[in-house]
Structure 1
Amino acid sequence: MLDRYHPSNWQIDWIAIGEAALLVAIAVSIAYALYRAVFAIVRRLTALSETHVDEMVVERVRRPVKWSFIAIGVTIVAQTDPHLQGVWEPIARFVRPALLGWIVYTLVKAFTAALEYRLEISDDPVAMRSRRTRIAILSRTATFAIILITVGLMLMGIPGVRDIGTTMLASAGLAALAVGAAAQPALKSLIAGLQMAVTEPLRIGDLVKVDGETGRVEEIKMSFVTVRTWDERVLIVPTSRFLDQSFENWSRKNEALTGAVMLHLDPVADIDPIRTEFERFVTTHTLFDGRNMALLMTAAYPESVELRLSVSAKTIGELFELRCDLREHMLKWLRENQPDALIRHRLELPGGHAKAEEPAAPGA
């Protein structure tokens, strides 16, 4: 009875293997030729378009479509040969969902690149930041969903995994609670990212102030946001932080802002000449946009007065530079024209103090 398991009794049907290999080679050749013909026609059609977006999308999906043509060709041939079907079908359980997920993934990336390409020719910086933010968040969400579904379909091709999944359906309620509890942070980040894309409390490129730090938003991920400060530090802020707590967005609609320079002067200061010089300097400055300019005395104390010099500029960076120039110029002008207006805290003892010059008493 055991003689049939002896290696001398093993027989390999080389003819069947050769026929199957020949069929596979023919199927692959026909599928590749068909792929080349189809894409030649598609490229000619995209060449007639006035934009490069069509060519960008076609080029990105070319590779997964090529392998999909080959897989379809092998599947069709396998239907005519039982031996080939027995070998190909277990492999196809993994190949089919993988190719499908690859095609959808490349389509998402292609359309994302196409939309970003269109944004580069936009003249509205605020609208560009808004669309870039939505594109980035939604593309990452779609990518995550595609990978998750593709891996799930591939695992379902394993009989053991499929059987385990069928068995666990009996306790689906407890499993759902356990998964929900374990995935709560991930689900919270996912929902926060989607809400960020829809409501847009901030966008890529916005200047924000969070936790006492000011910087530009560089990236918006599903779970965190990166903010680069003026000194090139990078703040990693959880996405939910911008939805649960308040923060400052200095470029929500546009970057035109009004800023102030505060001067604390002696009460003897003559305000009218200071206002005249302030208005003369600001109106001749190249960074002033002409919207807001005002000098107001916002506080008066027995030993000082507070002046607020308000100016405006088109961008946040220009406003910062304008305020620095204004602060430096006004202090220089005050030193040259109203030195008594600058506050000084000094103790002057002309001729010294009489008691300080008396000799100390004996025994003191």
Structure 2
Amino acid sequence: MIDWTSWTGTGVAIGIALVVALAIVLGLRLVARLLSRRVPWMRDLDHRVRRAWVTFCIVLAIWIAGAVTAPGRQEWWGSASHVMFIAAMVTAGWLLAALVSFGFEGLIAREQVSFSGADLRRRRTQLIVLHRLTLVVIGVIAVGAVLFSFPALRVVGTSLLASAGIVSVIAGLAAQSIFGNLIAGIQIAFTDTIRVGDVVVVEGEWGTIGEINLSYVVVYIWDERRLVVPCSYFTTKPIETWTRKSDAILGTVFLDLDWRVPIDDVRAKFEQIIESLPEWDRRSSSCWVTDSQGGHVTVRLVMSAKNSDDQWVLRCQVREQMVTWLQQEHPEALPRTRVSVES
């Protein structure tokens, strides 16, 4: 007969508790594998929460075993039990965060199938911000539960929450820079100011919105640099966005040419060039003389593309081919400076 009030009984109880916890973990993994034959995402869920679930079960098993055996009758068990409670809260928060992350990632993957273009960017941005905000709330609740387990902090916290000045305290915190950026991050997500994947010009830099966090936004610059901007920037300053309603965009090439340029030939060559380029989406094209001063005329070539990347390639191709054609076929159209010398 085992004496559960002895340290030997404690060791046996901990061993039994760990075996039971291991059995529960393995049983759930087996169930997940069986269900994954019909529900494929069950295998991914098991992989995502496995570490957090195993850790939580181990902490809970040791805590229960210690409470019902010899340590539970010791004077120091109160402090040890408090430590176990903190460990349980932390691992429970970890487990809940893993479940939430898995759920949001599944939603984002489903949105990528159901939507495209601006709608996809808007919904993905909202889900990303909601995901991060939910993780922050889980972290705050877990930390709050740990802090409120200390009697001294519980008294202070209860008094603070019960006081009439709590509203002014929250307002004062929100006025600070970090909380101002947090509020701006939520505002960005739900007012559709910018979205992950939008093409923008910020601080004179052309790039793509790569990350929208709760306090800052990361802009992926075209040359692989990264521009980190506070969220409040996008709610207080004007920015240039190329994909607000659609990815489609117009591109422009300006040519400064001599007055003797044959405009009809230039227009015909321009149409021939864009017809041969796959980047042109056939929505719009035009060739007009838009200015004539300083000893030359300005020819503006406008062409449309389905997105900014194609627009860049299209502009470069048109510019190169037009310059080459003018050099070979109409050198008299190239810009020049005239000087009149009087004898």
2:51 to 63, 67, 81: 63
**Amino acid of the structure 1 residue aligned with 2:46:** V
Cα pair 2:181 2:232 within 8 Å, conserved: yes
Return the TM-score normalized by structure 2. 0.84
**C-alpha distance in 2, partners of 1:122/1:281?**
36
CA distance in 1, matches of 2:58, 2:72: 15
The secondary structure found in structure 1 opposite 2:6 is: helix
Number of residue-to-residue matches in the alignment? 336
Task: Give 5+ residue unaligned stretches, structure 2.
Answer: none
Q: Cα gap change, 1:22/1:256 in structure 2, threshold over 3 Å: closer, same or farther?
A: same
Cα contact 1:299–1:306 (8 A) shared by 2: yes
Q: State the partner residue of 2:172.
A: 181
Which of 211, 219, 233 is residue 227 of structure 1 equivalent to? 219
Relative distance call for 1:154 and 1:341 in structure 2 (3 A) is: same
Distance change >3 Å, CA 162–CA 272, structure 1 → 2:
same
Q: 2:21 aligns with which of 31, 40, 49?
A: 31
Distance 1:170 1:323, change over 3 A: closer
Partner Cα distance (1:31, 1:213) in 2: 55
Give yes or no for the alignment of 1:47 onto 2:37: yes
Contact persistence 2:6–2:69 (CA under 8 A):
no
Give the 5 Å matches for 1:237-248: 237-248=229-240
Change (3 A) 1:33 1:284: closer
Q: Take 2:219 and 2:134, find their aligned partners in 1: how far apart are those partners?
A: 24
* SS at structure 1 position matched to 2:155: helix
Aligned to 1:10: none
Over alpha carbons, which structure has the higher Rg? 1
Deviation at 1:151, TM superposition (A): 0.9
Pair 311,194 (structure 1): closer, same or farther in 2 beyond 3 Å: same
Length-normalised TM-score, structure 1:
0.80
Letter in 2 for 1:274: V
**Structure 1 gap segments, 5+ residues each:** 1-12, 355-364
Identity of aligned residues (%): 32
- When residues 215 and 20 of structure 1 are mapped into structure 2, their CA distance, relative to the original with a 3 A threshold, is same
What SS class does the counterpart of residue 281 from structure 2 fall into?
Answer: coil
* C-alpha separation in 2, matches of 1:32 and 1:75: 15
Q: CA RMSD in A?
A: 3.1
Given candidates 292, 303, 307, the residue that maps to 2:284 is: 292
Whichever residue aligns with residue 149 of structure 2, its letter is G
1:19 to 9, 14, 18: 9
User: In 2, distance between residues paired with 1:167 and 1:315?
Assistant: 57
